[in-house]
């Protein structure tokens, strides 16, 4: 991974990003705005499942409102995320926080895709049975916490030493 | 006491020293700050898009507001508290940082913008609550709100890039010293 980061940092695209100081903070700001879209959308769907918001809306209506915003925000996050990796390969790819974050992003994205697909196929079952089950409510809270953890781990990429001897950045 | 004296005493306080001397507190406070601000922006986005008539248009504005606003305020409280802790840690650095000052100006403008909403569109809410979009004054407040908050996020990131707020610079951390801190 160190060699890959080293190679990536010498590509012309990476050098172009590195030579313009404004690129990384700008892309980070867009990345933060997009994660706000993800967190807000997941939060509202969670609140609907917990019957704490959107009581006048079905689960399908709530998901139709927030699902597309969630998907588009995820696309923006991936594009801006790739720009940050290309621009600062060592900072990202050598950090334990980065890989923990990627693990949770895969889980969170898989849950979002499976949930929306299942809701489309089994809408009556979701509205009448599943949405009332406490394990589904628990899963909704866990999904929201996964995305909160993604935000925390994203910030901790800058502070990989918090992992002490587990930090992969310090071992390079 | 003058402002410079106040800033210096904040920075010399036990709280500020404690955060500076910890390897972990500043990163954790900053992480909570980012979670808070993303929740503030994520929920305000829902309100503003409704006012602009761009999303949730089939629901009453008051239904959206009662779903969302309490969480916006809770997240805002978390963001302000963690922001205050970050500020005292390096008070003079932030106080003298142009991006930090600009960010504070935008936050004040954002508050005045909310006040403008209360004084204008809010007064005729009973008329347009079910309309797809707010009247012009409400839409203007919503557009300005989005612009101000996006500005706050950008400036916040620029504050981070122009201040050295890390208690221990990551590049200078010695692995052996870190291992001494861990339970044996």
Residue B150 has pLDDT above 60, yes or no: yes
**Minimal CA–CA distance to A89: which of A148, A24, A31?**
A24
Q: What is the pLDDT of residue B86?
A: 97
Contact A53 B67 (CB under 8 A): yes
- The region that residue B53 occupies, defined by phi over 0 for left and psi between -120 and 50 for alpha, beta otherwise, is left
Contact residues, chain A, for B168 at CB < 8 Å = 161
Q: What residue of A is the nearest CA neighbor of B37?
A: A36
Amino acid A168: pLDDT: 83
Q: What residues have CB less than 8 Å from A147, skipping those under 6 apart?
A: A35, A38, A39, A42, A104, A108
Instruction: Answer whether A44 touches B (CB < 8 Å).
Output: yes
CB pairs under 8 A between A and B: 107
**Cα B61 from Cα B139, distance rounded (Å):** 13
Q: Are A45 and A140 in contact (CB under 8 A)?
A: yes
Judged by CB atoms closer than 8 Å, whether chains meet at A152 and B161 is answered as: no
A43 half-sphere exposure, CB direction, 13 A CA radius: 23
The ipTM is 0.95
Task: Please check the confidence at residue B164 and state whether its pLDDT lies above 70.
Answer: no
At B85, list the tokens. Answer: 């802790």
- Residue B184 in this model has a pLDDT that exceeds 90: no
pLDDT at B168: 46
- In this complex, do B38 and A32 lie within 8 Å of one another by their Cβ atoms? yes
Report the residue from B26, B34, B42 with minimal CB separation from A37. B42
Q: What is the residue-level pLDDT of chain A in tens, covering all 172 positions?
A: 899 999 999 999 999 999 999 999 999 999 999 999 999 999 999 999 999 999 999 999 999 999 999 999 999 999 999 999 999 999 999 999 999 999 999 999 999 999 999 999 999 999 999 999 999 999 999 999 999 999 999 999 999 999 988 888 877 6
Structure tokens at B26: 């500043």
Q: Which residues of B touch A (CB under 8 A)?
A: 23-24, 26-28, 30-32, 34-35, 37-43, 45-46, 55-56, 59, 63, 67-68, 71, 150, 153-154, 157-158, 160-161, 166, 168, 170, 173, 175, 178-179, 181-182
For residue A47, list chain B residues with Cβ-Cβ distance below 8 A: 67
Q: For chain B, which residues make up each domain, given as ranges? A: 3-170
A36:B150 CB<8 A: no
Contact A164 B24 (CB under 8 A): no
B174 has a pLDDT exceeding 60: no
Q: Give the pLDDT confidence score for residue A170 in this predicted structure.
A: 75
**Residue of chain A minimizing CA distance to B182:** A164
Q: What is the pLDDT of residues B40-57, one digit of tens each?
A: 999 999 999 999 999 999
B165 has pLDDT over 80 = no
Select the residue from B22, B35, B37 to test the A interface by mutation, using most A Cβ atoms within 10 A.
B35
Q: Is A155 on the interface with B (CB under 8 A)?
A: yes
Lowest-confidence pick of A2-16, B11-25, B94-108, B163-177: B163-177
């Amino acid at each position: 991974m160190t060699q890959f980061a080293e190679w990536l940092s010498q590509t012309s695209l990476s050098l172009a990003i590195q030579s313009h100081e404004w690129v990384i903070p700008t892309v980070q700001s867009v990345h933060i705005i997009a994660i706000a879209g993800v967190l807000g959308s997941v939060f509202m769907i969670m609140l609907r499942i917990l019957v704490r918001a959107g009581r006048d809306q079905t689960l399908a209506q709530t998901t139709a409102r927030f699902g597309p915003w969630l998907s588009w925000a995820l696309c923006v996050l991936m594009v801006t995320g790739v720009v940050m990796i290309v621009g600062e390969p060592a900072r990202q790819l050598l950090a334990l926080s980065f890989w923990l974050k990627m693990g949770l992003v895969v889980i969170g994205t898989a849950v979002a895709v499976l949930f929306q697909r299942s809701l489309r196929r089994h809408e009556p079952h979701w509205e009448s049975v599943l949405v009332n089950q406490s394990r589904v409510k628990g899963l909704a809270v866990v999904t929201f916490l996964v995305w909160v953890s993604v935000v925390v781990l994203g910030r901790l990429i800058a502070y990989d030493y918090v992992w002490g001897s587990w930090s992969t950045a310090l071992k390079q | 006491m003058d402002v410079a004296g106040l800033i210096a005493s904040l920075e010399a306080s036990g709280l500020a020293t404690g955060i500076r001397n910890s390897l972990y507190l500043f990163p954790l406070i900053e992480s909570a700050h980012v979670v808070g601000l993303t929740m503030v922006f994520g929920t305000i986005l829902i309100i503003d898009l409704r006012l602009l008539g761009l999303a949730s248009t089939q629901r009453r504005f008051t239904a959206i507001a009662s779903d969302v606003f309490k969480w916006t305020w809770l997240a805002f409280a978390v963001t302000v508290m963690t922001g205050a802790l970050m500020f005292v840690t390096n008070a003079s650095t932030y106080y003298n940082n142009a991006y930090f000052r600009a960010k504070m100006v935008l936050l004040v403008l954002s508050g005045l913008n909310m006040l403008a909403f209360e004084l204008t569109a809010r007064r005729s809410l009973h008329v347009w609550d079910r309309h797809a979009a707010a009247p012009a004054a409400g839409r203007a407040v919503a557009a300005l709100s989005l612009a101000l908050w996006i500005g706050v996020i950008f400036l916040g990131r620029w504050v981070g890039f122009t201040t050295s707020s890390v208690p221990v610079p990551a590049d200078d951390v010695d692995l052996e010293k870190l291992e001494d801190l861990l339970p044996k």
